[in-house]
Structure 1
């Protein structure tokens, strides 16, 4: 007799008690991610309809980026309250506004609407595949974090440089790299939730939203370069 040895039923119950909160975080993250698309679409619609970003130059874009980073800082500060939720939704509205120049450029093509829907569908497929891998595989992706952050820094520096250089080849390279890096980030971010490394669904949603946003914009740029038609 080993009275201090836990029974199998106790072990199973302990495992379920650990898994349930993680599943709740993941479920809440997916719901909030879906909800965040509403202000994003609204912001993009208002921006395109009223031409709010007309004439914005490189410095204006950098100012918008500073506003976005300010939102990210504030969301993290208030992530445990309703204020954080409101800031997140406001942030996604601003990010929708930031889509205006890219959407207007794409809509200038004869097949612009098709390109946007193709980019949206492609982004959804990438997210579905990466999230499925992250939730089913036993492989540990936690070691990718530092490498992915280094890749993001390179992308930011290259993107800022290209605002002034305006090199189409560099734009293509940046877009391809961004799709690869942020696709890997979905693996990393979703698995952190699954493994219990991230327990706040507002922070989790912010991370995955940025992954999806960057994949969509990069894919849309590539589609515009490769498949844009003036007919």
Structure 2
């Protein structure tokens, strides 16, 4: 029994170490690809295509390669494309009067949220598996809201209040994902560091873009 517990503890430590190491590297890689996209003034259309391709990689390719070395390449391709897709969005905010301040505040807020929630989960070692239902329901609600916003915008009826509520909801939902995913690693529910990395990475990126939207609206 003691031997099994020791193996489990070692496995959890390995997954945690590999997850945070890969997460750090992929965030740096994303920053590089975002910078490159900003430098060449990548269009919104090209950025959207890259983002869609990236999502396709984690939906259809990563689940099949998550237990092999090929999965690492998929994770880097995914995060690189997401970073490039962020380039046009960041350029849009930087073009505004207080753009640099907005981007820096969003970065700081994202870092504070992620580090604070991760530290809380790691230090308290609380089991946040009960959030699974909330996260699943939240995802469905957010997808519904997104489709509604896109449809309304296409027909010339923007809904700015709902758009802001959507961004605030994303921040709350992704915060729950960080707690849930970190807890899953700690308690042995997540043994694949590639899947854990992509989950935390998506939470960070969504918090960042949502804070950009909220801060940009507040500035306007």
TM normalised by structure 1 equals: 0.85
Q: Is 1:35 equivalent to 2:56 in the alignment?
A: no
1:104 maps onto 2:96 in alignment: no
Q: Secondary structure at the match of 1:99?
A: helix
Superposed CA deviations along residues 112-152 of structure 1, whole A, max 9, x for unmatched, are 11211111111111111111121232532112112202211
**In the alignment, which of 152, 175, 183 is matched to residue 183 of structure 1?**
175
Of 35, 39, 42, which aligns to 1:45? 35
| Aligned position for 1:77 | 64
Contact 1:39 1:90 in 2 (8 A): no
In the alignment, which residue of structure 2 is the partner of 1:155?
142
- Structure 1 residue 67 displacement after superposition: 1.9
- Contact 1:22/1:194 (<8 A) preserved: yes
The separation in 2 between residues aligned to 1:164 and 1:48, in whole angstroms, is 28
CA distance in 1 between counterparts of 2:148 and 2:85 reads 19
Partner of 2:73: 86
Within the candidate set 53, 64, 71, 1:67 is matched to 53
Structure ranking higher in helix proportion: 2
Instruction: Tell which structure's C-alpha radius of gyration is larger.
Output: 1
Identify the residue that residue 165 of structure 2 maps to in structure 1: 173
Q: Which residue matches 1:224?
A: 216
Q: CA deviation at 1:64?
A: 4.9
Q: For structure 2, which runs of at least 5 residues remain unmatched after alignment? A: 153-157
Q: Residues of 1 paired with 2:42 and 2:68: CA distance? A: 31
CA shift for structure 1 position 214: 0.6
Match of 2:130 in 1: 143
Kept in 1, the 8 Å contact 2:94–2:100? The answer is yes
Aligned residues: 214
Q: Distance in 2 between matches of 1:105 and 1:26?
A: 36
Alignment match, 2:155: none
Unaligned runs of 5+ in 1: 1-9
Length-normalised TM-score, structure 2:
0.89
Runs ≥4 in structure 1, deviation > 6 angstroms? none
Which residue of 205, 208, 219 corresponds with 2:200?
Answer: 208
